[in-house]
Structure 1
Amino acid sequence: MEEGKEAENKKFLKKILLIINCIIQITGTCGSPLVLRLYFIHGGHRVWLSSFLQAAGFPILLIPLSISYIMRRRRYHHHHITTVTTKPKIFTMKLPLFIVFTIVGLLLGLDNILYSKGLASLPVSTASLVIATQLAFTAVFAFLLVRQKFTPYSLNAIIMLILGAVVLALNGAGDGPAGESSKTYVMGFVMTLIAALLIGFILPLVELAYKKTKQTINYTLVLEIQLVASLAGSLFSLVGMIINKDFKVIPREAKHFELGETLYYVVLVAGAILSQLSSLGAMGVVFCASSLMSGIMVAMSMPLTEILAVIFYKEKFQAVKGISLALSIWGFISYFYGEFQQAKKMKKDYIKEIEQPQNHSNINYA
C-alpha cells in the first residue's frame, strides 16, 4: 500500500513539474521572438549575435543548480551519521551524457543560426508556415527513434496545429524585406526548413538519450543537461561572431539603436533569458512527458506570439489570426483530452490487476 501511495505521489509531482515546464516553455517560446524582433525592428542587423542570444542565457541555470546542491548537502549532513549516503557532487552528469549533450548543443547552435538567417530573409508569414513543419518532423522522428504511439487524438492535434500555422501563413505575402531577390528568398526558405527538420530531430534525440542512459534522470540532471547543451551552442555561435567581427560592430550598433544604448543591451539580455527559458522548458517537457508534447508546445506558441504582437506592437488583428488561434487551441485540447482518456484507461487496468488476485483468493475450494 505504501509503495502504491509513493508511486501516486511521484506521478502527482511529475504532473506539477510538467505544468511548470509547459508554462516555462510557452513563456520563452512566445517571449523570445517578440523581444528579438525589437532588436531587428529598431536597427539591429547581426545574425550571428541573434543566434548566440538563443543559447547564451545559460548562466541563469546556475541559480536553481546551486539551490539543488545546497539542499542535497543539507540532506547529506542530516542523514550521513545514521545511514550510508554518498557525498553530493556539484556536477552529477557522467561522461557519456556529457558527450551526447555536447553534440546536441552543437546541433542546437547550427539550428539557431539556420533559424536566424532564415528569418532574416523570409516574410514572417512564410517563416511561420515553414517553422510549423517542425511538429510533423518531430512526430516522424519520435516514431522512428522512440517508437512514439499515436492515438486519434494526438494525430488530430498534429493536423490542427499544422493547419493553424498554414492559416497564419495566409496572412499575406509581401511582409518580407524590400528589394529582396528570389535567390535570397529560396535560400531563406531552405535554411528555415532545415532548421525545422533539425529541431524535429533534436527533441526525439533528447528523449532517446533520456531513455537509453544508465544514469538516473532527475530534474537536477535535466538542468545540467540544458547547461551543457547551451554552453556548446553558445560556443558554436561565438566562433561565428568572432569570424564575422560582430564584437567590433556591437558598440556602434548600440549607439545607433532607435530605443537608446541602454535599452539595446536590455533587449539582448532579455532575449537571451527568454530563449533559455524556451529551451529549458522544452527539455523539461521531454523529461516529464515526451518529445511530441514538446513539439506541440512549440506549435501552440506560434499563434499566441502573433496575438501578443498585436497587443504589444499594435499589429493588425486579421481574421486569419483568430482562425489560426482557434485551430491551435482545438489541437491543443484534443491532445490533452487524449492523454487524459489514456491515463483514465491505464488507471482502470491497474485497479483490475490489483483486484484480480484478491478475487481469486476469495474462491472457496471446499
Structure 2
Amino acid sequence: MGEIQEVQLQIKCQESKEVSAKSGSDESESTSPMKGSKRYNWWLRVTVYAFLLISGQSVATLLGELYYDKGGNSKWMATLVQSAGFPFLFIPLIVVKVYLSPPTSSTTTITTEHSASISTLALLYISLGVLIAGNGMLYSYGLLYLPVSTYSLLCATQLVFNATFSFFINSQKFSAFIFNSLILLTMSVVLLAIDPDGSSNSTTIPEGKNVIGFICTLSASAGYSLLLSLTELIFRKVIKNETILAILEMSISTSVVSTCTCLVGLFASGDWRRLKNEINEYGEGGVSYVMTLVWIAVTWQVSYVGLLGLVFEASSLFCNVISTLGLPIVPIFSVIFFHDKLDGVKIVAMLLSLWGFVSYIYQHYLDDCKAKETRTVHDQNEEKR
C-alpha cells in the first residue's frame, strides 16, 4: 500500500513539473511580443525627446541671437532666461502626477526606500543648478561675441569633451566609429580656429572680442559635457527612478537654483539698472523685447526636458550626439534670418560635423543589431530548455 502511494506521489510530481514547464514556455512566448513592444516604446520616447532637444535648442539659439541683434546687451538677462522658464513645466508635472503616476504599491515602496534622501538630492540639485548658471553665462558671452553660425559649430566640441568625461565618469566604451566621430568633429573645430575670417564676419562684433567668444564657447561646451555626464551618474547611482516624473522634478529643481543664482548676479553686478534703457532702445519695441525673452525661456526648458530624457533613456554621450545633430540647422537659418556669412570653410566644417554624427549613429545601429542577436540566441536556448 505504501509503495502504491509512493508511485502516485511521483506521478503527481512529474505532472506538476510538466505543467510548470509548459507555463514557463507560455510565459516566455507571451513576453517575447512584450520585448518588441518595449523596444518600440523606447524608440518612440527617444524620438520625442530628440525632437524636444533639437527644436528647443535651435529655436532658443536663434532667439538669443535675435535678442543681441536687436539691441539686447545684458549677459545676465540672457543667462537668466535659459533657466527662468521652469514655471511652464508645472503644467506637465501636474498632469503626470494626477493622470500618469502609477498607484502606490509594494514595488513603489521598495524603490522609494532605495532612493536618495531629500538632503542628498537637494545638495546635488544645488550643485547642478550653479553649474548650469555658470555654463549659461559662458554661452551668453560666446553668443554675444561670435556670429551664430561660428558659435553653433564650435558647440560641436561638446561631443569630444563628453566622450572624455563619459569614459572616466560613466565607463563609456569606445569603438572605431566613435573615435572616427570624435576626430571628424575635432577637425571641424580646427577649421574654424584657423579660418582668418570665420570669427570676424559680423560688423557688430568688436575685433578683439572674438577670441573671448571663442574661449567662452569652448569652455561652455566642456561644462555642458560635464553636466551631462554628472546627470547620467546621478540618475544611475543616486535617483534610480528613471521616469518622466523624475525628469520633470530634476529639471524644475535645477532650474530654480540656476534662476536664483542668475538673479543674484543680475542685482549684484548692477546690470538690472540698465534694463529699462535696454527695453526702450530695443529695435522691435518693448513688447517684442518681453516676448523674445519669454520664448527663449520656454524653448530652453523644452530643450532641457529633452536633454534629461535622452540621458536616462540612453546615455549622456548619445544625448550629446543628438544635440550635435541640431547644430548644423542653426547656421542655415542664421543665413536666412540674420544674413550671416556662410563661407566654404564653415560648409566643410558643417559636413564634417554631420559625418561625425552619422559615424556615431552607425555604431549605435551596430550595437542594436548585436543586442538583437544576443536576445534571439538567448530566447532560442530558453525554448530548447
What's the counterpart of residue 180 of structure 2?
156
Q: Distance in 2 between matches of 1:309 and 1:180?
A: 19
The AA in structure 1 aligned to 2:169 is L
Q: Distance in 2 between matches of 1:230 and 1:105?
A: 6
What's the counterpart of residue 54 of structure 2?
26
Match among 257, 261, 264 for residue 232 of structure 1: 257
Task: Judge which range, 19-28 or 170-179, deviates more.
Answer: 170-179
> Identity over the aligned pairs, expressed in percent?
30
Match among 11, 16, 21 for residue 39 of structure 2: 11
Task: Judge which range, 253-262 or 117-126, deviates more.
Answer: 117-126
Match among 174, 186, 198 for residue 200 of structure 2: 174
On the 8 A contact 2:187/2:349 being kept in 1, the answer is: yes
Unaligned regions of 5+ residues in structure 1, if any? 362-366
Q: Helix, strand or coil for the counterpart of 1:337?
A: helix
On the 8 A contact 1:164/1:325 being kept in 2, the answer is: yes
Task: Judge which range, 110-119 or 326-335, deviates more.
Answer: 326-335
Give the superposition deviation at 1:245.
2.9
Give the superposition deviation at 1:167.
4.2
Q: Distance in 2 between matches of 1:247 and 1:34?
A: 24
Any residues of structure 2 matched to 1:1-366 within 5 Å, and which?
Answer: 1=28, 2-72=30-100, 76=103, 95=118, 96-122=120-146, 127-128=151-152, 130-167=154-191, 170=195, 172-175=198-201, 180=206, 182=208, 185-213=210-238, 215-359=240-384, 361=385
On the 8 A contact 2:201/2:341 being kept in 1, the answer is: no
Q: Distance in 2 between matches of 1:61 and 1:180?
A: 38
On the 8 A contact 1:158/1:296 being kept in 2, the answer is: no
Task: Judge which range, 248-257 or 143-152, deviates more.
Answer: 248-257
On the 8 A contact 2:65/2:143 being kept in 1, the answer is: no
Q: Distance in 2 between matches of 1:324 and 1:312?
A: 21
Higher Cα Rg: structure 1 or 2?
A: 2
On the 8 A contact 1:135/1:162 being kept in 2, the answer is: no
Number of equivalenced pairs? 350
TM-score by structure 2 length?
A: 0.82
Q: Distance in 2 between matches of 1:24 and 1:8?
A: 24
Superposed structure 1 runs of 4+ greater than 6 Å apart: 83-87
The AA in structure 1 aligned to 2:273 is K
Q: Distance in 2 between matches of 1:224 and 1:93?
A: 14
Is the alpha carbon distance of 1:215 and 1:125 closer, same or farther for their aligned partners in structure 2, counting shifts above 3 Å? closer
The AA in structure 1 aligned to 2:311 is V
Show CA shifts across 1:192-223 (max 9, x none): 33222211211111111111025422111111
On the 8 A contact 2:86/2:255 being kept in 1, the answer is: yes
The AA in structure 1 aligned to 2:198 is G
TM-score by structure 1 length?
A: 0.85
Unaligned regions of 5+ residues in structure 2, if any? 1-27
Q: Distance in 1 between matches of 2:293 and 2:106?
A: 47
Is the alpha carbon distance of 1:167 and 1:308 closer, same or farther for their aligned partners in structure 2, counting shifts above 3 Å? farther
Query: What RMSD, in angstroms, separates the aligned Cα atoms of the two structures?
Result: 2.8
Q: Distance in 2 between matches of 1:281 and 1:193?
A: 22
On the 8 A contact 1:121/1:176 being kept in 2, the answer is: no
Q: Distance in 2 between matches of 1:119 and 1:228?
A: 26
Q: Helix, strand or coil for the counterpart of 2:284?
A: coil
On the 8 A contact 1:55/1:231 being kept in 2, the answer is: yes
